[in-house]
């Protein structure tokens, strides 16, 4: 079998990105028109039509009228990414995760079907790949983050992943490959990685590990399998209450967890994964695998990183309470592209959207923003095909639970929430600008005490 070199393979991977252009796996440059740029102006311009961008355009339409709002998004499809955890495990079909972008952009809001190439906050303008220059009075940046599969040496091109028994729940192009790898598993190591970078939904890399364990038990293959979770982190999960519960589960299911191990290379032809010991850089360990689930390194959106809006690390530099930009008061941010020091999730986007709505309404009236985001985020930790631990916490890493029960316990009711209720809440509540997180319900459930 030929050795696969990333340098030769990358152009093909990039071609694939061009074909699908769905979730920003690659930084795609669309060449500008040779004609003079066409110019447009909007009171509110939203960049990115993912969870945060669509939500905020719906809210801005309600606040200011559709004719005053535009959104820039190149993808024809919008994806509900949280359901990919279940798609990778064969519990949902990938089709259930996507809807045409045209169906989620609020009616009357102008959809610029193009890629943002440059943001210039000094002139209040944005340049897009189709040669437009759009000026704005207020800007909302919701460009998400960037996946960097190309940073893992030797990772073959996506078309070959089934052959090489590799999958990844982190993109629409690769999520079904996880399910193939699971079904094709015979015996050996099922290996799961967690990169040495910030990630979105920090629980997702291990959710698929629990589902794999459950699937192998269901199909009678578990006795011939080692389930191995190699994480760059020094902990299994960032919040102690949930980490304690997860350690009990990995022990009881005989899952091997290795901390501070970072996937740096895949030797696909030999089915080997190479991990570096982050506590002793340069020391590597080679693991043979029968199935490999890759969580790619992630980083800031390149357009944000290359702009004056970025902090030193390249993330959008916003106030952690108001979501207003720290230097440009007419710029705001939401979601994965920001430097908000909380776990990057759609649940966080929901809580942020109601705060940002309020912040902008105050700024429009020349008043001071008065509501503060507490860092609320949530991660439904799927631990089996019918159980979930519903982690909810704030900036301080303290649990901020909605229900008056111990949420660190595995529960089927929470699985039902994750698999059936949350998708509805997403499509019909969040994206329409009506769902701002469970804060008000938490108050009621805890009789006003939380």
The 235-274 contact track toward ligand FAD, x by CB under 6 A, reads ----------------------------------------
Q: Which of 144, 195, 296, 314 binds ligand FAD (CB under 6 A)?
A: 144
Strands 77-79, 98-100: pairing is antiparallel
Query: Is residue 155 part of the contact set for ligand FAD (CB under 6 A)?
Result: no
Q: Does residue 201 carry a catalytic annotation?
A: yes
User: Which of these ranges, 4-12, 153-161, 270-278, 337-345, lies near ligand FAD under the rule CB under 6 A?
Assistant: 337-345
Q: Which of 139, 273, 347, 431 binds ligand FAD (CB under 6 A)?
A: 347
Active-site position among 17, 26, 337, 379: 379
Strands 77-79, 298-300: pairing is unpaired
CA–CA gap between residue 294 and residue 114 (Å, rounded): 29
In the bound state with ligand FAD, the residue whose beta carbon lies nearer, of 143 and 225, is: 143
- Report the nearest approach of ligand FAD to the CB of residue 301 (Å): 5
Angle formed by the axes of helices 175-184 and 204-218, to 10°? 30
Query: Is residue 369 part of the contact set for ligand FAD (CB under 6 A)?
Result: no
Query: Is residue 200 part of the contact set for ligand FAD (CB under 6 A)?
Result: yes
Query: Is residue 81 part of the contact set for ligand FAD (CB under 6 A)?
Result: yes
Non-local (6+) Cβ contacts of 274 within 8 A are 153, 263, 264, 265, 266, 267, 284, 285, 286, 287
Query: Is residue 84 part of the contact set for ligand FAD (CB under 6 A)?
Result: yes
Query: Is residue 24 part of the contact set for ligand FAD (CB under 6 A)?
Result: yes
Query: Is residue 331 part of the contact set for ligand FAD (CB under 6 A)?
Result: no
Q: Which of 174, 324, 345, 402 binds ligand FAD (CB under 6 A)?
A: 345
Per the listing, tokens 């089934």 go with 162
Active-site position among 17, 26, 201, 337: 201
- Report the nearest approach of ligand FAD to the CB of residue 216 (Å): 20
User: Which of these ranges, 237-245, 330-338, 383-391, 439-447, lies near ligand FAD under the rule CB under 6 A?
Assistant: 330-338
> Where does 94-239 have alpha helices with state H?
101-104, 175-184, 204-218
In the bound state with ligand FAD, the residue whose beta carbon lies nearer, of 156 and 198, is: 198
Query: 245: which DSSP letter?
Result: H
Query: 370: which DSSP letter?
Result: -
Q: Which of 69, 303, 360, 400 binds ligand FAD (CB under 6 A)?
A: 303
Q: What are the tokens at 312?
A: 């030193």
Query: Is residue 346 part of the contact set for ligand FAD (CB under 6 A)?
Result: yes
Strands 256-258, 225-231: pairing is parallel
Answer left, alpha or beta for residue 255, where phi above 0 means left and psi between -120 and 50 means alpha: beta
Q: What are the tokens at 44?
A: 């509110």
In the bound state with ligand FAD, the residue whose beta carbon lies nearer, of 200 and 358, is: 200
Strands 188-194, 225-231: pairing is parallel
**Footprint (CB under 6 A) of ligand FAD, residues 102-131:** 115-116
Query: Is residue 53 part of the contact set for ligand FAD (CB under 6 A)?
Result: yes
**Footprint (CB under 6 A) of ligand FAD, residues 283-302:** 301
Query: Is residue 57 part of the contact set for ligand FAD (CB under 6 A)?
Result: no
Query: Is residue 46 part of the contact set for ligand FAD (CB under 6 A)?
Result: no
Per the listing, tokens 């990333």 go with 6
By beta carbon distance, the residue nearest ligand FAD is: 50
CA–CA gap between residue 245 and residue 214 (Å, rounded): 17
User: Which of these ranges, 141-149, 188-196, 221-229, 257-265, lies near ligand FAD under the rule CB under 6 A?
Assistant: 141-149
- Burial of 375 per CB tally in 10 Å (0-12, 13-18, 19+): buried
Asked if 165 and 289 count as a contact pair (C-beta separation under 8 A), the reply is yes
Collapsed DSSP state (helix, strand, coil) of residue 19 = helix
Strands 188-194, 291-293: pairing is parallel
Which of 100, 33, 68 shows the shortest CA–CA distance to 431? 100
In the bound state with ligand FAD, the residue whose beta carbon lies nearer, of 170 and 415, is: 170
Per the listing, tokens 């499809």 go with 77
CA–CA gap between residue 331 and residue 352 (Å, rounded): 15
Q: Does residue 379 carry a catalytic annotation?
A: yes
* Residues found near ligand FAD in the complex (CB under 6 A): 23-24, 47-53, 72-75, 81-82, 84-85, 115-116, 142-144, 169-170, 200-201, 204, 301, 303, 335-337, 344-347, 349, 378-380
């Amino acid at each position: 079998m030929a050795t696969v070199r990333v340098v030769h393979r990358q152009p093909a991977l990039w071609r694939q990105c061009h074909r699908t252009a769905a979730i920003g796996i690659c930084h795609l440059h669309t060449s500008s028109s040779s004609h003079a740029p066409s110019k447009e102006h909007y009171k509110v311009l939203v960049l990115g039509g993912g969870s945060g961008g669509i939500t905020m355009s719906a809210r801005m339409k309600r606040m200011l009228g559709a004719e005053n709002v535009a959104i820039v998004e190149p993808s024809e499809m919008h994806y509900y990414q949280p359901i990919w955890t279940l798609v990778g495990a064969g519990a949902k079909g990938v089709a259930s995760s996507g809807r045409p972008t045209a169906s989620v952009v609020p009616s009357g809001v102008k959809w610029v079907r193009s890629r943002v190439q440059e943001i210039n906050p000094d002139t209040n303008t944005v340049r897009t790949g189709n040669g437009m220059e759009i000026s704005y009075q207020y800007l909302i940046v919701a460009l998400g983050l960037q996946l960097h599969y190309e940073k893992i040496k030797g990772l073959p091109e996506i078309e070959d992943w089934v052959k090489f028994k590799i999958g990844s729940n982190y993109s629409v192009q690769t999520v079904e490959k996880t399910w193939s790898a699971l079904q094709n598993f015979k015996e050996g190591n099922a290996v799961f990685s967690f990169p040495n970078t910030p990630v979105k939904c920090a629980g997702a890399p291990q959710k698929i590990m629990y589902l794999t364990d459950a699937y192998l038990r269901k199909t009678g293959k578990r006795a011939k399998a080692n389930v191995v979770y190699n994480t760059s982190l020094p902990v299994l999960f960032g919040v102690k209450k949930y980490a304690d519960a997860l350690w009990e589960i990995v022990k009881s299911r005989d899952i091997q967890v290795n901390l501070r191990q970072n996937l740096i290379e895949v030797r696909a032809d030999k089915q080997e994964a190479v991990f570096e010991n982050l506590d002793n850089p340069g020391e590597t360990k080679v693991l043979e695998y029968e199935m490999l689930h890759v969580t790619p390194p992630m980083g800031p959106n390149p357009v944000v990183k290359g702009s004056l809006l970025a902090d030193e690390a390249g993330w959008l530099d916003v106030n952690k309470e108001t979501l207003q930009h720290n230097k440009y008061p007419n710029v705001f941010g939401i979601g994965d592209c920001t430097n908000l020091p909380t776990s990057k999730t759609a649940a966080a986007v929901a809580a942020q959207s109601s705060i940002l709505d309020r912040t902008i309404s105050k700024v429009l009236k020349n008043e001071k923003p008065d509501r503060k985001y507490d860092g609320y985020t949530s991660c439904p930790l799927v631990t089996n095909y019918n159980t979930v631990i519903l982690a909810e916490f704030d900036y301080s890493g303290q649990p901020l639970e909605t229900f008056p029960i111990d949420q660190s316990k595995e529960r089927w009711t929470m699985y039902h929430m994750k698999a059936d209720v949350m998708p509805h809440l997403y499509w019909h509540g969040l994206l329409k600008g009506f769902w701002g997180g469970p804060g008000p319900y938490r108050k009621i459930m805890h009789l006003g005490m939380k």
